[in-house]
């Protein structure tokens, strides 16, 4: 795990969302694609848009493709 990933996980501890769980799952599985329900994305954008943006930026930076539906 990189320092950036450790910092992201630490930041997400204060988030009222389950974004930390998403990041931990992506790290554990190491998959190039992650499926995220559209309802979850909508909720993250509403409940904690800054954290969602951080996670989205992290996913894009590591080349993880998001599939939503």
| Total of domains in the chain | 1
Residue 23 domain flag: no
Range of the domain at 48: 29-69
Answer whether residue 1 is part of any domain: no
Nearest CA-CA partner of 36 in 50, 16, 56, 11: 56
In a domain, 13, yes or no: no
Confidence label for 41 from pLDDT (cuts 50, 70 and 90): very high
Residue 48 belongs to a domain: yes
Share the mean pLDDT of the chain: 96
The predicted model scores a pTM of 0.93
20: in domain? no
- The yes-or-no verdict on residue 48 having pLDDT over 90 is yes
For residue 31, what pLDDT band results from cuts at 50, 70 and 90? confident
**Where does the chain have alpha helices with state H?**
3-12, 19-29, 38-47, 49-61
In a domain, 38, yes or no: yes
**Is residue 18, in this structure, part of any structural domain at all?**
no
Question: What's the pLDDT score for residue 69?
Answer: 81
């Amino acid at each position: 795990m990189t320092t950036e990933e450790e910092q992201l996980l630490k930041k997400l501890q204060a988030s009222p969302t389950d974004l930390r769980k998403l990041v931990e799952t992506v790290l554990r599985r190491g998959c190039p694609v992650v499926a995220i329900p559209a309802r979850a994305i909508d909720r993250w954008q509403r409940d904690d848009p800054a954290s969602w943006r951080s996670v989205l930026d992290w996913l894009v930076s590591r080349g993880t493709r998001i599939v939503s539906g």
